[in-house]
Structure 1
Amino acid sequence: MPTMTMTVRTFLAPSVELRAAFLDAQRDYASGDGRPDADGLTLRDLENGDFARLVEGIGTGCFPRPGVRPGAAGMELWWCETAPDGPPRMLGRLCMRHYLVPALEGRGGQVWVSIRPSRRGEGLGAELLRDALPRLRAKGLDAPTVVCPVDHAGARVTVERVGGVLVREERGRAVYTLHT
């Protein structure tokens, strides 16, 4: 009788061991979205040596997304499917930044999530966010902000499915609060 292989979806810390999974996902992003989801790096950058620098920067906190103010504490995790009989497959990313300001402690911050294009429409974005809630709470975020384009119905439904509350719309973006 054949045995069934159980895949598990889990967050993994960025590491050079995940290079193949990360590059595979970035090719998917480039094909589906027109560019990789790699903090401004191109596929060529990633394939020619910048991958290790990206992982090191994520680990030390010195490779934040553009526009992040100094003093932001952050976390980035890669959401992967793992199986005992094969390498991990990257499904998406979770990035979190919050500001070390007493007035915002335990409240503010921003969360970014992305799902690789070939796996969108399967409910994975909501699953990723639900899986992230305990991690966000452990990092001191009770009500992080999630921002998505006003006209991106899929992203908005995803955030609302996980309990996101629309706070405002501005400059073409919908701003949600997500209670952890």
Structure 2
Amino acid sequence: MGLYFFPPSLKLRATFLAAQAEYAEHDGRPDADGLTLADLTEGTLRSYVEGMAAGTFPRDGIRIGVAGTELWWCETSEGQPPSFVGRLTVRHDLVAANYDRGGQLWLSIRPSRRRQGLGTQLLAAALPIAAAHGITTPVVVIRTVALAPRKLAESVGGKQVWEKSGRVAYRIESKQQVAV
């Protein structure tokens, strides 16, 4: 059994949609770039997943103007299909947008798997991926009301750089070691 990154794939449709229903129930909306559960129909889900895999994040013909890498973090165990635990989004074209050697990292843990230390594990796994994209000082964006992720960012030396629209951002050195 272990946790591994997978590219977005319709093969993980059932576990992804189950996680989105959890997000909607617990957080008031799915963790799907502004899509609602109703939006996540087969056709929309297909274009959404294909766009994430291509790094273009399409939504009903509209493309978000930020290149990104999307990875789904799934738990695997022998004889069982992977189970969606969370996701990592690396928005790496922000380096050119005055982010001073940094892009954004968006981390998300499915509600039923929170408070198990998985955010720390996900951040530890995310920092080398950010570094591989040339991001040496990623900015981790967190909902303002999410106290546990804010404490995690601060515990690894994250420095708050902005707060707006219900979100707060912390700059973290990607060479930072995260104890798991």
Question: Is TM (by shorter chain) over 0.5?
Answer: yes
Residues 140, 51 of structure 1: alpha-carbon distance in 2 compared, 3 angstrom cutoff: same
Identity of aligned residues (%): 51
Residue 57 of structure 2 aligns with an amino acid whose one-letter code is: F
Question: 1:47 and 1:157 mapped to 2: Cα distance?
Answer: 36
Whether the aligned pair in 1 keeps the contact of 2:95 and 2:101 (CA below 8 Å) is no
The answer to whether structure 1 residue 40 and structure 2 residue 34 are counterparts is yes
- Give 1:80's aligned amino acid: C
Deviates more, 1:148-157 or 1:91-100: 148-157
1:167 aligns with 2:153: no
Q: In structure 2, which of residues 79, 82, 85 is the aligned counterpart of residue 88 of structure 1?
A: 82
In the alignment, residue 63 of structure 1 is paired with which amino acid?
F
The unaligned stretches of length 5 or more in structure 1 are 1-6
**Post-superposition offset of 1:45:** 2.5
TM-score by length of 2: 0.83
TM (norm. structure 1) is: 0.83
Q: 1:23-172, aligned counterparts within 5 Å?
A: 23-63=17-57, 70=65, 72-99=66-93, 107-170=101-164
Q: Give yes or no for the alignment of 1:177 onto 2:171.
A: yes
Give, as a single letter, the amino acid of the residue that structure 2 aligns with 1:84: E
Q: RMSD of the TM alignment (CA)?
A: 2.6
**Based on CA coordinates, which of the two structures has the bigger radius of gyration?**
1
Task: Evaluate the alpha carbon distance shift between residue 151 and residue 164 of structure 1 in structure 2; reply closer, same or farther with a 3 A threshold.
Answer: same
Partner of 2:177: none
Contact preservation (8 Å) 2:94, 2:103:
no
Secondary structure, counterpart of 2:121 in structure 1: helix
* 1:153-172: CA deviation from partner (whole Å, max 9, x where unpaired): 21201222343223344565
**Distance in structure 1 (CA, Å) of the matches to 2:77 and 2:165:** 42
Looking at structure 2, the residues matched to 42 and 172 of structure 1 have their Cα atoms a distance apart, in angstroms, of 19
**Residue in 1 aligned with 2:9?**
15
CA distance in 1, matches of 2:147, 2:35: 27
What secondary structure does 2:129 align onto?
helix
Question: Hey, what's the Cα distance between the residues in 2 that align with 1:105 and 1:160?
Answer: 19
Gaps of 5+ in 2: 175-180
- Partner of 1:45: helix, strand, or coil? coil
